[in-house]
Structure 1
Amino acid sequence: MKSKMDKRAFGPWALVTGASSGIGKEFAIQLAASGIHLVLVARRLSLLETLGQQLQKQYGIQYRAIGADLADESALARILQVTEPLDIGLVVSNAGAGAPGEFIDKKQEDLLKMVNTSVIAHLKIAHHFGRLLAEKKRGGIILVSAMGADRGLPFMANDAGTRAYIRSLGLGLHEELKRHGVRVTVLIPSPTDTPIVEQLGFQPEKMPMKPISVEQCVVETLIAHKKNRPSIIPGRLYRLMDALTPDALARKMFGKLLAEGNGIRWRIEQ
């Protein structure tokens, strides 16, 4: 199952951050299947090279691989240097990883690093490429947020706060940039079968619904983006759950899953 992208609407090259695994990797695969060349960004350069070579062989695309930590201020300069001569028409800003735990137990430097990765990096990428795409009057930006982030998540308070920023930024840019012929869509991933589920300590058997496949997540997002929708929660049942679940209940539900999965003692107050 794949969603074909029209290179005439988006141009010959796409930038995908967080491309070494999970949702970012699947975006790279889906875009390569449409014949779109790729600039792949993640910390693990070896995985990017392996992926790029695989997609080059399978689909005949070109690729550039950039090993960079987007929490580092120099990372964006490297991305701009590589992309400057390329006709980038689609940007998938996906970098960021969850780090569950009690807020007050975390080091402030780690909290700020999360802000750099999940707020500042997305802002800089959206600003730079948003301007370039607006000048071309075509193309698109997909910003990756997180389900429940706008409600507040116990034991991921800082992480959720950064993802709530991404959602708000993207929804605002959707209205601003569509005047210039640029699509902006916020992906709000429902629980998805990627390594992050295990990293967060979620136990699928205790979750109210099973995670969706990464392929479904990306296909639904690309379809929504082609239709220029402001946001998408992949999975019809997850969309329904998100719409019907009150904020307080959502916080308790996600907090319980995170606490149980990470050995945190937490008594839910009624």
Structure 2
Amino acid sequence: MLHRPIAVFDSGLGSLSVVRELRKTIPTENFLYYADKMNFPYGGKTKSELKDIIVKSIKFLEKYQPKLIVMASNTPSIQIYEEIKNNFSVDIIPTRLPLKKTINLSRKKHIAIMASRGTLESKEFDYQIKKEVPQQIFVEKIDSTKIISLVEEGTFLFDQKLTYQRIKEVIKPHIDNTIDVVALCSTHLPIVKNYIEAVLPSIKLVNSSTEVARDVKNYLKYTGDLSKNGTGKFEVLVSAEKNNFQSILRSMGVRELIFDVSLQL
């Protein structure tokens, strides 16, 4: 068992984009990555279902005595976080929509947000857009559920042509020359960032995974709990489909041990 790790979780591969950013930003920390494959996708759940899943996941991760827990998925971070953040013995860091950075980068006052259907259709998302985006900024919503599934299935590793075509089919109907910045508001999306860049070569992309890594480092500095020395270790837990998940991770260069925790849940 890792000593006081930072626990990072979502419904599958999405957490990996956050873990990668975290390991670059704070390489001295231990990381525990929990892929809740049993409940993929979070974006397809009702709010009530999602709340039950997230609470159960956090209680499970508390057993590992983490420094903090990162909710590495935009959907529950937007819909559930505010309701449950004070209910646990460990602090929770959400994955926020990187709206401020996206707006600041836009010169044409027209941005797009790529996210799961669950995120885009939630009243919490609409509230956040109204609260944080000035009225003169136009916001295009791009339902990226099909791309998220493409990532989770590992298709992007084995069929580049299909991956590019699918991503193009999802994005292109929503993009014209008035949009200059796109926010990647699912943690699965940075994993295929190179494909999205190929479809949108002249558009800036903003990555929510980078933002959450910065939030975690700032939190650890504030609490005085940032590890100063050494090289952090990394372990992976998965709640279902271990063999398939391990095969995808190995193809992505992840060599660490992967533990099936389905019987512990």
Pick the TM interval, shorter chain: 0.3 to 0.5
Provide the TM-score with structure 2 as the length reference.
Answer: 0.37
Higher relative contact order (CA 8 A, sep 6+): 2
Q: Report the structure, 1 or 2, having the larger strand content.
A: 2
